[in-house]
């Protein structure tokens, strides 16, 4: 075993002495050493419950025959860091997390790893580290948050709180109305309840083959997520032992699972479910660490072939809990496999030990071969009571009449036990409560659009590409032309939007917010929600070399490359220049001749950095533009 390096032979007597001090027993020396890479952080709702989760997974690994060692990473809460200088640290934290994983696994020669991420940069950071160290690894996320409910029964989430803040400032909402939304928007632990970046990445982990079915959609408060952790612990010990027996080439290592076909599968899912634009940034970076050539052009090819069959907040009123009830990620994949045979590579390997196609056969609840375990997962219901604790209630497989904080089971709602009718799973119509699984996850024939929920744009304003979440764009804004209103930072843009500098028809330009320019490529949730709050979301577009929160909707185009800080065209345009956007045609351009752009480029000078020391100064010198995934390069 890999861990024999630190525990076998006379030369390792001192090592064994130190290991005994950590709790290693005399019968542990021949067992696999399993790292549990946790991301418990008290200030992140998606992670506040993970200390309990990490300790539980540790017990499960021990019970499965492994020797567990728990360590933690840092984490940045993008919502709390939003709108001020703290957001500059969010994307760079991805690199620190990847470095931490690499350091811990290689310094201590572990045989396998379970990663317990949940939010924002933590998921891709752990993925990047896992690809580097290339030991058997399973991802088991902390799970999504329940959506909130106001006293009137309206479903709300974090985006409603952001928009409400703008509407209150505009006099469009009372203090009491804002207070009610604020207190209801984030009711439980877990990654925020829409198809934002965290949940998008946790769902993609299933299609990439690195997580067990249910990873992306089972609620954080559901006791059934506990069984997911038990399965992950058992499976990682099996994988470590099997790898020790058979070696490389048997589909047990991250780089053997995360192949070009697997990355295709993950982005096909992303297009089908209209995930966050940040997934493009992160998938490119993860593929780079895996040694897999993957580009914006390839993602664009897949987008043109993949229909958008699932829309979740902020693109609709649905939330992750609704996707779980409709059958989860493997039911989305099942609809794609049925409607477009050959698009997904069903032979791709996964951490279950089975192919993606075999997993779909078991977990697509609309298929004839779905297991009872898959159907049981669709029975999870949010209980609507505030909780920051994991699995606070019984499993849905337990007492069918039980109902408690964070979970209500199917039978307590008076529905059929088998989720094959009345709007659940394989049903063909709405249930008694108006829920229709076939609207949450549509068939290919009834898709929201024939192309994917994300679109890549190019043109003289974005020679190396840009990204827009098409699933969240108002149809009337698919084509738009208007004068540029330029802001040199996110904060200036927010104030300009709220206090009337932007008019109907304008194109808001926010620049010098790219990976190097920010530095750190701040998310633009504050200005995009401000646009919605002032009622211009169907009248204005917003473009930036920065990025957007997964909670962003509207004609918001990000990741413009090259960025302004390295002399990209977005840094050359001026107020009043006419910007042309044609999303169906994949075009982003400014009405300037090549000669004029050349003249402006010759006069352009880089801005001096505000950071002379510390991590961000180092990051700024190494970061690349978004079209490469904002990876760091130093050669």
Query: Which residues are catalytically annotated?
Result: 549
Residue 457 and residue 583 in contact, taking contact as beta carbons nearer than 8 Å: yes
Q: Would you call 620 helix, strand, or coil by DSSP?
A: helix
3-state SS, 594-611, equals HHHHHHHHHHCCCCCCCC
Cα-trace Rg, the chain: 24
How far is residue 52's CA from residue 622's CA, in Å, rounded to a whole number? 37
Side-chain half-sphere CA neighbours of 467 within 13 A: 33
Other beta carbons within 10 angstroms of residue 293's beta carbon come to: 9
Residues 6 or more apart in contact with residue 634 via CB below 8 angstroms: 622
- What is the length of the chain? 635
Main-chain dihedrals φ then ψ at residue 542, nearest 5 degrees: -135, 130
Is the previous residue joined to 314 through a cis bond, with omega within 30 degrees of 0? yes
Other beta carbons within 10 angstroms of residue 429's beta carbon come to: 11
Residue 258, token pair as written in the block: 């995360």
Side-chain half-sphere CA neighbours of 578 within 13 A: 6
How far is residue 72's CA from residue 568's CA, in Å, rounded to a whole number? 38
How far is residue 457's CA from residue 452's CA, in Å, rounded to a whole number? 13
How far is residue 254's CA from residue 244's CA, in Å, rounded to a whole number? 15
Question: Dihedral, CA atoms, 276, 146, 359, 436, nearest 10 degrees?
Answer: -90
How far is residue 83's CA from residue 158's CA, in Å, rounded to a whole number? 14
Residue 375, token pair as written in the block: 């159907």
Beta bridge partners of 144: 191
């Amino acid at each position: 075993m890999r861990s024999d390096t630190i525990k076998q032979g006379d030369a390792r007597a001192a090592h064994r002495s130190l290991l005994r001090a950590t709790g290693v027993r005399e019968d542990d020396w021949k067992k696999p050493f399993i790292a549990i890479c946790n991301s418990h952080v008290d200030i992140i709702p998606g992670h506040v419950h993970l200390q309990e989760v990490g300790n539980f997974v540790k017990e499960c690994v021990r019970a499965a025959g492994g020797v567990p060692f728990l360590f933690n990473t840092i984490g940045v809460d993008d919502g709390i860091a939003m709108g001020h200088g703290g957001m500059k640290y969010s994307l760079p934290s991805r690199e620190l997390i990847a470095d931490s994983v690499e350091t811990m696994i290689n310094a201590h020669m572990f045989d396998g790893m379970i990663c317990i991420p949940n939010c924002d940069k933590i998921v891709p950071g752990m993925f990047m580290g896992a690809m580097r160290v290339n030991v058997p690894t399973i991802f088991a996320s902390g799970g999504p948050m329940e959506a909130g409910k106001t006293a009137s029964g309206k479903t709300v989430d974090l985006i409603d709180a952001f928009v409400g803040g703008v509407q209150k400032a505009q006099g469009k909402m009372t203090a009491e109305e804002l207070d009610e939304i604020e207190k209801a928007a984030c009711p439980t632990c877990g990654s925020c309840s829409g198809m934002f970046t965290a949940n998008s990445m946790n769902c993609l982990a299933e299609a990439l083959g690195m997580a067990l079915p249910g990873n992306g959609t089972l609620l954080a408060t559901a006791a059934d997520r506990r069984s997911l952790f038990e399965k992950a612990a058992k499976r990682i010990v099996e994988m470590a032992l099997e790898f020790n027996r058979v070696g490389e080439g048997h589909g047990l290592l991250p780089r053997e699972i995360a192949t070009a076909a697997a990355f295709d599968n993950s982005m096909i899912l992303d297009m089908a479910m209209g995930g966050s634009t940040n997934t493009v940034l992160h998938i490119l970076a993860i593929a780079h660490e895996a040694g897999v050539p993957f580009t914006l052009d390839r993602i664009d090819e897949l987008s043109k072939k993949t229909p958008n069959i699932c829309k979740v907040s902020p693109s609709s009123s649905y939330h992750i809990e609704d996707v779980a009830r409709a059958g989860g990620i493997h039911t989305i994949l099942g609809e794609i496999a049925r409607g477009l045979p050959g698009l997904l590579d069903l032979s791709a390997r996964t951490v279950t030990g089975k192919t993606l196609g075999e997993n779909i056969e078991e977990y697509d609840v609309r298929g004839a071969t779905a297991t009872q375990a898959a159907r049981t997962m669709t029975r999870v219901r949010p209980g609507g009571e505030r909780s920051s604790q994991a699995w606070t209630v019984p499993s849905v497989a337990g007492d069918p009449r039980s109902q408690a904080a964070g979970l209500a089971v199917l039978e307590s709602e008076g529905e059929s036990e088998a989720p094959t009718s009345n709007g659940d799973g394989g049903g063909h119509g709405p249930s008694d409560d108006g829920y229709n699984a076939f609207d949450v996850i549509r068939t290919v024939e009834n898709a929201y659009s024939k192309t994917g929920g994300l679109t890549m744009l190019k043109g003289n304003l974005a020679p190396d590409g840009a990204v827009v979440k098409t699933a969240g764009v108002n149809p009337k804004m698919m084509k738009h032309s208007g004068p540029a209103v330029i802001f040199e930072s996110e904060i200036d843009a927010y104030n300009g939007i709220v206090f009337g500098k932007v008019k109907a028809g304008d194109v808001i330009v926010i620049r010098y917010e790219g990976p190097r320019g920010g530095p750190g490529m701040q998310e633009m949730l504050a200005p995009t929600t401000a646009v919605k709050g002032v009622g211009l979301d169907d009248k204005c577009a917003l473009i930036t070399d920065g990025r957007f929160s997964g909670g962003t909707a509207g004609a918001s185009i990000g990741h413009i490359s090259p960025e302004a800080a390295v002399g990209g065209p977005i840094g050359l345009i001026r107020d009043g220049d006419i910007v042309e956007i044609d999303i169906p045609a994949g075009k982003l351009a400014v009405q300037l001749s090549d000669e004029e752009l050349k003249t402006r480029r010759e006069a352009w000078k880089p801005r001096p950095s505000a950071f002379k020391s510390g991590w961000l100064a180092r990051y700024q010198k190494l970061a690349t533009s978004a079209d490469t995934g904002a990876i760091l390069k130093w050669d």
